[in-house]
């Protein structure tokens, strides 16, 4: 496993759920972090932290940061800024099309600044409609406009990186959970409803799924920054999977086993095709030495405590 230079890192989109935690963890390891923060959102949780310097940015005007003195001699860039992640925007064509344009703007920025290595977090949803084990080598099979825009951005950025001799590491990230994430995904919806004593309603939840705790994701991203091989596509998950209904049942058991679960209350959008998300993380393990450490039951106990408080 080769170690690449990794002393000064830029995190673009540091305001977000994952980006902010990535900044904190990098700083804890003694790495100099330039946190590019969207001025339209709060970044008070990053200010004043040793090792982290905040710099406001706009994806529409990223060229305004060209040659900024704080961005000299950067070893690595994480592009964590992506609009339209929430369910109500995942099929907004205009929002997702802008993400594709912004992806190329980031690559132009990386080239101009002389940054040789960059990581972009893609989504396992880029290939989850294929229903096979996700290895990073399969044909794209996006499930919505969000994942389709990820696919388009991946191919465009990979082509750009090859021509400009930039090490681009693309990742296919599974569903992430952890304290602080509250965007009405299946996990947060189930927890919040059950904590109120209500009955959450679901489809049959027969999908085989991989859920990854956010702390493990952060460690995987850092490991790839240090040791990931440019040009590769890395699935990032726990390496474990079970039916979605089993995850929901575990949540119910930890909150109140007597509460009802509405599994099967809702119809599948496409009853003839149920998407799975099963990841093979052997390349990630082999190239970086990364290993997940938080099992679902332990992680979800922390998340339940977060929502209780």
Domain span including residue 87: 8-178+211-240+277-293
pLDDT at 159: 98
* 48 to 30, 78, 247: CA distances (angstroms): 15, 21, 38
pLDDT in tens, 21-52: 999 999 999 999 999 999 888 888 898 889 99
pLDDT in tens, 61-70: 999 999 999 9
* Mean pLDDT of the chain, nearest integer: 94
pLDDT above 90 for 131? no
Residue 261 placed within a domain = no
pLDDT at 241: 95
pLDDT above 80 for 289? yes
pLDDT in tens, 7-16: 999 999 999 9
The model's pTM: 0.95
pLDDT at 40: 83
Number of domains in the chain: 1
Least confident of 107-111, 180-184, 252-256: 180-184
Residue 266 placed within a domain = no
Residue 255 placed within a domain = no
pLDDT at 272: 77
User: Region 119-130: what's the mean pLDDT?
Assistant: 89
Q: How far apart are CA 209 and CA 291, in angstroms?
A: 18
Residue 224 placed within a domain = yes
User: Region 91-96: what's the mean pLDDT?
Assistant: 94
Q: Is 131 exposed, middle or buried (0-12, 13-18, 19+ CB in 10 A)?
A: middle
pLDDT in tens, 137-168: 999 989 899 999 999 999 999 999 999 999 99
pLDDT in tens, 105-124: 999 999 999 999 999 999 99
Give the model's confidence band at 83: pLDDT under 50 very low, under 70 low, under 90 confident, else very high: confident
pLDDT in tens, 240-250: 999 999 999 99
- In degrees to the nearest 10, what's the CA dihedral of 205, 210, 214, 220? -170
Residue 304 placed within a domain = no
Across 264-308, the runs of DSSP E, i.e. the strands, are 278-279
pLDDT above 90 for 88? no
pLDDT at 2: 82
User: Region 232-253: what's the mean pLDDT?
Assistant: 97
pLDDT at 100: 96
Residue 251 placed within a domain = no
pLDDT at 282: 97
What residues does 175 pair with on adjacent strands?
Answer: 211
CATH number at residue 30: 3.40.50.720
Residue 52 placed within a domain = yes
User: Region 96-108: what's the mean pLDDT?
Assistant: 96
pLDDT at 256: 97
Residue 41 placed within a domain = yes
Tokens of 262: 């509405």
Q: How far apart are CA 264 and CA 261, in angstroms?
A: 9
């Amino acid at each position: 496993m080769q170690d690449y230079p990794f002393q000064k890192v830029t995190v673009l989109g540091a305001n977000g759920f994952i980006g902010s935690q990535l900044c904190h963890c990098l700083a804890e390891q003694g790495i100099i972090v330039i946190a590019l923060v969207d001025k339209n959102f709060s970044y008070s949780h990053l200010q004043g932290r040793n090792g982290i310097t905040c710099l406001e940015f706009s994806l529409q005007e990223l060229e305004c940061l060209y040659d900024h003195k704080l961005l000299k001699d950067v070893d690595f860039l994480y592009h964590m800024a992506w609009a339209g992640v929430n369910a109500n925007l995942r099929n907004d064509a205009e929002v997702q099309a802008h993400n594709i344009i912004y992806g190329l703007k980031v690559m132009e920025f990386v080239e101009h600044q002389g940054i040789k290595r960059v990581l972009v977090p893609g989504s396992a949803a880029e290939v989850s409609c294929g229903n096979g084990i996700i290895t990073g080598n399969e044909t794209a099979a996006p499930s919505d406009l969000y994942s389709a825009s990820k696919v388009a951005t991946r191919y465009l950025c990979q082509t750009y990186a090859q021509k400009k001799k930039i090490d681009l590491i693309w990742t296919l990230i599974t569903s992430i959970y952890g304290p602080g994430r509250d965007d009405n995904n299946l996990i947060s919806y189930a927890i919040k409803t059950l904590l109120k004593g209500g009955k959450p309603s679901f489809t049959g939840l027969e999908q085989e799924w991989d859920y990854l705790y956010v702390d493990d994701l952060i460690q995987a991203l850092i490991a790839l920054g240090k040791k990931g091989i440019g040009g590769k596509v890395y699935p990032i998950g726990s390496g474990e999977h079970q039916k979605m209904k089993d995850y929901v049942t575990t949540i119910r058991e930890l909150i109140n086993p007597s509460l009802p679960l509405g599994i099967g209350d809702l119809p599948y959008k496409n009853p003839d095709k149920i998407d799975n998300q099963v990841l093979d993380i052997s390349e990630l393990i082999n190239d970086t030495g990364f290993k997940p450490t938080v099992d679902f039951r332990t992680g979800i106990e922390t998340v339940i405590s977060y929502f209780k408080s």
